[in-house]
Chain A
Amino acid sequence: MYEGGRWEDVDLVLRREGASALTGPGFEASSELVPFLRSDCRILVIGAGGLGCELLKDLALLGFGNIEVIDMDTIDVSNLNRQFLFRMKDVGQPKAVVAASRIQERVEGCTVVPHFGRIEDKPAEFYRGFHIIVLGLDSVEARAWINETACSFLEHDEEGNVDLSTVKPLVDGGTEGFKGHARVILPGITPCFACTMWLFPPQTKFPLCTLAETPRTPVHCIEWAHLIKWPKDNEMEEFDVDNVDHLGWCHREATERAKEFGIEGVTLQLVQGVVKNIIPAIASTNAIVAAACATEVLKTATMCSAGMDNYMMFMGGEGIYTHTVKYERDECCPVCSPGIFLTVQSSVTLGDLIKRISVHPKALGKVERPSVSHGTDNLYMQGPLEEATRPNLSKTLGDLLGGTGQKALAVNDKRLPRTLRVTLSVVP
């Protein structure tokens, strides 16, 4: 029987020509592609949880040899039903560190560098260094943050055309129970996370008066204990959803209240589910979604096959149903659209720049008391941070933005309908 080399299965689609209608733009079959994946292509995986473990394994077994992973969590017993790189003895250890070493042990020649910490603590340059960033996250906020960071790398010419070399592809997955999604974001080309924010419905919040006056369900009793009783009884201490004593307190108080109102069904499991906002998760859905994402990483890196265009929804509860849909970019997206173009000298101060922006026609005469940020750096803010950031107004752009080149700023003003994106060409 023909065995081939270790990467034979992937190499078949990389070294052999494909049908042009079904491969990516500019695909050139080559036996150099496997070596490219092994040693040159740099991939960052964000999150080493349910999706992250799967993604790391998937990418390693597609031949990617340079992977880094970042995660701020430590391993918990409740992870073990799906986060297959972890064992009971690893409980309490950093997820990124354990996951990286398990992959390296099993997949020879694959380097996985772990980062145990928050994504916000890494500078933008860290993220710029990867060819593709893959997201295995469970929070909308973290997705929005990394999306803004990736979009801040975008550069456009004066006509608003994207400089393709500045596009940082993101591949994003998410699951809940038997459902999930996988998507590919090419900032500036396909819709970014902010273009399709409506995909994430707001969480159900109960009116406080229901909690305080007319509780009807066990969840009302739990939210009352969590949101109303705790701050009243513990002015100094914030409720910590990971603190066993706090959870126990919440369980007792909610049980007491339920009893008082004749409501049944408060259990510790429900208390945890409500206050920690636990998303149910199973191994199989994570495996499916992560693998669909990893396949897209391979396609984006090599163009070996037409890419997913651009969002796949997965529903496994009633049969298996998927829907792959081409979402459209929001041309006015505050995060990924080019917005206003200005060429300025690096000696111009932030204060003067703000004046120039306020008279720009696209500012609609509505920029009077703006807040200005660069990626995730706050340059000048209204409100409580105004005093602290005021000295920046007299600093030069060269100092504030770290030299010359193209820089993307976000300008907010209460009077603006949305964030205004300003693309600066900072010249000496």
Chain B
Amino acid sequence: MGDASAVARESQDKDKRYDRQIRIWGKDGQRKLETANVCLLGAGPTGSEAMKNLVLGGVSSYTIVDGTKVTERDLGNNFLMDKSSLGQSKAECCSRLLQDFNESVSGRFVAETPEQLMDAKPDFFDGFDLVLATQLTSAYQHKLCDICRKSGARVVFGRSYGLFGLVRISASEHTVVESKPDNVLLHLRVKDPWPELAEYASNFDLESLDDMTYKHVPYVVLLIKLAEAWKLGHGGNLPQGRAEQRDFKAFVRSQQRRRRGEPEGVADEGENFREAVENAHYLWSPPGVPSEISRYFADPACEEITSASSHFWVCMAAVKDFVAERSGGALPLPGSIPDMTATTDLYLDLKRLYDSKAEEDCDWVFDRAIQILSRTPGADPSALGRDYVKGFCKNCAHVKVLRFPTVRQEQEGFLGGASQSSYLQSLLLSEDTAENAFVYLMLHAADRFRQTHGHFPGKFDDGVQEDVGGVKSIVSSALSEAGLPTIPVAEEYVQELCRCGAGEIHTVAAVVGGIVAEEAIKLLTEQFVPLSGTLVYNAIRSTTLRIGKF
């Protein structure tokens, strides 16, 4: 067997192994995962679980950093610890057992504490695409945040604390082309058909069609034609206001043919007419340019393209020009239409029309993007591929830009800034969010407690009640300093916090680690939308709350 066929076989095996996830993020997403180098800080259950999910998914490499040794207690809360490693390096044990999950991932470990590494060798973090930072206290979260903003690595923080957890991301900017929303608005252009579509629709002579074809005229054509007919009787206007819109739908229904021999009888239910009624709203409220995209158009990153600008922003600038100069307000056509009742030929005709218009729009955007790059000193126009532009145009109604505040900005903002504290106030006052907003503040108080007492609250069986008092006073002074209200079950929550004694219960860690991995995958594949703000997980209620006005 030659090398080429061995390579082909390996790639086939990988396709099979990763089939269930490739169906979600595609081969492109998988390829991005397979080139990612990920560092894990903390080989406790939260970190081990997070990394386990990424090793299974097939990242390129992992590096486990932990300076502690395997104890009896680790065997009880972490599946990536085994008895033979008692007393030895936790990082080494975790790294060795992770390797069993996927032989194509390369693993290594560093038996030092993350804190030592950050203090002594901050350049250690250069070269990682992503750092998963687990169980760090606030002070070292700040430090890692600063280090990784410089090195360019993105960070996902995960913290499990008894029955509670926190997850947040730090990165200066993350852009997503394929955000893959659940619900998408269709860009059908039935309100303002371009000339070829208008001509295609006008060529239908509905009267002359046989019954079978009549029931298979695509609803897009029906809407364009019936809108024209409506305009004739309404001074050239489309239906305006609810009453007219209702009348228009009735008008669409009335166009169905009657069943033979039943002159007064039931209309011959045509699925295509039902679809036309269902989608008639695209005539009076077409999707247009979403407000989020308009905001991106006005973003300094879009207005000032430099040689350092990413292709994302170059395409954004080109699409902005397209909307202003070319299309009269419509985004480039995505070039896909949903399935709809139609004959094969009519559907494929229509599909070709949309596809070729999408290609034409993409050509314009591509040309403009190249022009923008050509006039930008130091930029390389040849580095921009048409495929990227095509992908951008296809998804441009749903692209996303996320900019994450640093950990310090978030914390100072909340407890210092007036606008943030009024946000937190509204969370504390609303029944749905009060408990988890309080949990967020309480976990910060636990870190402060540790700074002053040298241990986490509830560490010793006989000191639980005393620690409850200590945490309560930290929380209440933080709340009153920021002018924030408390919540009815505040004392109960502090009690629960101290009861857990900062333990890492395996299943809480598995939820937090799972969410950390989920965010890591979204960052690495550059698909879907990562979490903005801080997520609070409450295992008592089995609820979460996202905190952050970003």
Interface residues of A (CB under 8 A from B): 2-10, 12-13, 15-22, 54, 57-58, 61-63, 77-78, 80-82, 84, 87-88, 106-108, 177-178, 182, 210, 214-217, 220, 261-263, 269, 272-273, 278-285, 287-288, 290-292, 294-296, 298, 305-306, 308, 312, 316-322, 324
Contact between A8 and B508 (Cβ–Cβ < 8 Å)? no
Contact of A81 among B21, B464, B532 (CB under 8 A): B21
| Contacts known (A7-B76, A18-B496, A84-B101); A287 close to B505, Cβ less than 8 A | no
Sample (7) of A-B pairs whose CB atoms are under 8 Å apart: A13-B163, A106-B79, A263-B348, A287-B517, A291-B510, A294-B507, A320-B515
Interface residues of B (CB under 8 A from A): 13, 15-24, 45, 49, 52-53, 56-58, 71-73, 75-79, 82-83, 100-103, 162-163, 167, 179-182, 216, 339-344, 347-348, 458-461, 464, 489, 491-493, 495-496, 499-501, 503-508, 510-511, 513-515, 517-519, 521, 528-533, 535, 539-544, 546
Residue of A at shortest CB range from B339? A217
Min CB gap B72→A, angstroms: 5
Contact of A283 among B45, B53, B78, B532 (CB under 8 A): B53
Residue of A at shortest CB range from B544? A322
Contact between B503 and A8 (Cβ–Cβ < 8 Å)? yes
Residue of A at shortest CB range from B400? A318
Contact of A320 among B22, B52, B77, B535 (CB under 8 A): B535
Residues of B within 8 A of A21 (CB): 489, 492
A294 to B539, CA, bound (A): 11
Contact between A318 and B528 (Cβ–Cβ < 8 Å)? yes
Residues of B within 8 A of A273 (CB): 23
A239 to B478, CA, bound (A): 67
- For the A-B complex with A19-B496, A287-B513 known, give 14 more contacts whose Cβ atoms are closer than 8 Å: A9-B505, A9-B506, A22-B489, A77-B13, A214-B344, A215-B344, A278-B20, A280-B24, A283-B56, A284-B517, A291-B511, A292-B539, A295-B511, A305-B540
A269 to B15, CA, bound (A): 10
Contact between A288 and B73 (Cβ–Cβ < 8 Å)? no
Contact between A320 and B531 (Cβ–Cβ < 8 Å)? yes
Contact between A319 and B529 (Cβ–Cβ < 8 Å)? yes
Residues of A within 8 A of B459 (CB): 2
Min CB gap A30→B, angstroms: 13
Residues of B within 8 A of A298 (CB): 507
| Contacts known (A22-B496, A63-B76, A288-B511); A281 close to B344, Cβ less than 8 A | no
A13 to B497, CA, bound (A): 10
Contact between B506 and A284 (Cβ–Cβ < 8 Å)? no
| Contacts known (A6-B72, A61-B506); A292 close to B52, Cβ less than 8 A | no
Residue of B at shortest CB range from A176? B24
Contact between B78 and A61 (Cβ–Cβ < 8 Å)? yes
Contact of A263 among B21, B75, B344, B513 (CB under 8 A): B344
Min CB gap A54→B, angstroms: 7
Contact of A319 among B45, B79, B530 (CB under 8 A): B530
Min CB gap A279→B, angstroms: 8
Residues of A within 8 A of B508 (CB): 291, 295
